[in-house]
Structure 1
């Protein structure tokens, strides 16, 4: 097993909050022991291996706040790490996949290969609600597997089931947060059963009773408003129609609700997915790191819906950003056929949030690191600070300039460490 102790120096450091020039970071036994501007190597640190990287940027390990590791797809851990994503947050999965992915991610001997894994367990959903439509599309060629997966979905149809469901996700699956589905179907041309507001409120209250946040899914203004009225802490998507008032923004600000826009996901639903997918998957860095190098399929659920568009989803995010709503990065990567690829999806989201939405690079970086850690209660990661996990990503160049450059599709990742252990994909290139 390689050493998890080293020094990296002479770098531009983004520590999750601010930038520091010519910084030095000391890692001992997988933890950050010192962060020093213009540091000198002396005393006990003199025996550690030294990596000097002037002209490079060191940032916290990226966190993908929204994935689905369907069928225990190991790429959600292995491929994510190759792209600099040291933690993935599963937002709904089946029990078998959750157990397998947790076991792989938590094996300390595999930190050179896999990202860490957080989960919501299984999302709270009434019978026939989302994610059934997306599962039907993902498994359209395997009716038996589809039936098995759908049969395992939790059907939370009464208020009395709310606390039991939340307890099961936390106690059985180790859920770090709870997700609830509230898909109206009105922007994706579907008619779906509508969860009662009192049921959604009960799920949120049950989550808060156990000390975790509750986040909710909806693709339309009507669904979002019900989630906000239910008291959720975060939205797992922007939405596809344009509201006539700003009541939703006022409610988000009042309740301190964050949003994970999943812009690339919205594009795949609206028929714009290939415009994003093809350039990113064709990028040389992506071609080197992807296991399956082909663009994924688009769902096109909302392509023919008159009130839904990718432009609407983007404008809603612009409005949130202008209003000061916390925005976090999450890809909604899922499955083997649909959406965007694990790991690369985070690069896509960061690009879209910077170049298309117009966010400042520092805010996008926070949204992919420290802000997620703060919102989800991950107190041991998301920053380059003393005592935290040495989850680190080394980038060639100044990350502020890289993110602001529309020609830079993928961040130029040169090394990734999880708990101070170098990702095996970079063992031959780091000097």
Structure 2
């Protein structure tokens, strides 16, 4: 499926008794999704439902080629010029027209195709589904500068690479705003950003400097975003999810982030803190620093004590001006690969979370279940299982907190320190079936 912005400057006129050539263009008519004389299906789409012609009888909007099942695939076959017979359905003014007495005209539509190559930016590509007046955005904000916008599923599918010319975020999903009474959908709620081609993911490249907000992808106070199958390199932070709930970060590659690879942060005192996080199947290379910057860091969240990877919808109370709160829902870090981290591979300052099936190789230290953070409940009741940590400079897995389950992890070849290290504040933890081998100080 392809969204193509087009302007109809052809004769959009009323057809009377089968004749339209001598009639004047008609304003204020809605465009019905009825397009003929094409080998490809198409639909009309405007910024607020069915679009209407302006005072000159001209409509500016988007044309959708294909069906939702093949959105973003085989878009090259749509590039070219197509001829359509465009019919207008009746709005309130023209509802009396019969099925055989509609307006219509022929129009030529040229599909140029989506952006390709590398798009250089000096400010973030900002993505939103609705504008500040809650009208649907036919382009997803800036999405069409770098790819397709699927308005139905709220997906920005990248067809071009992105390079920044200074300290700026690559892509930003900003604060979600709701209509009065917090009804309906938020302006940035539930947006997905991913590569159109899973075999050739889009690359977002920065310059390694700037602030925490100068991330490859910056999520700020929104809900239920998904970041999938991108390559992000040379930013201060690869992906920064700031005070955002329901975040899914799946299958991305992050390289050479100078601060953090993936940084997921919320405020509040648990249990009135954030919830709903999935970090699954990402590769993080050479990211973080030895001054507190981890390859993956999750801070200020409370999960439901499971390793589930499905996040159900819930209302984050921060959306209505209250502390975030949580239901809670899963907070899961699973099946990620971290290599050559200058600092910690994974830092968890959370409760009821799951860190499972991750592989960490060559980090300064492996997994840090840290805290207490916002309250004494931080870093309690987590599941740390089936992780493999090898060749750390210092410790493999360090635990602070109580009521955690440490099960079936393997730590080998810590260069200077221990395999597993337990802080004096830890108590009532379950530690089973773990393996520590060839670590310099202690196994446990």
TM-score, normalising length from structure 1?
A: 0.25
| Higher relative contact order structure (alpha carbons within 8 Å, sequence separation ≥ 6) | 1
TM-score, normalising length from structure 2?
A: 0.25
Q: Which has the higher helix share?
A: 1
Point out the structure with max Rg over C-alpha: 2
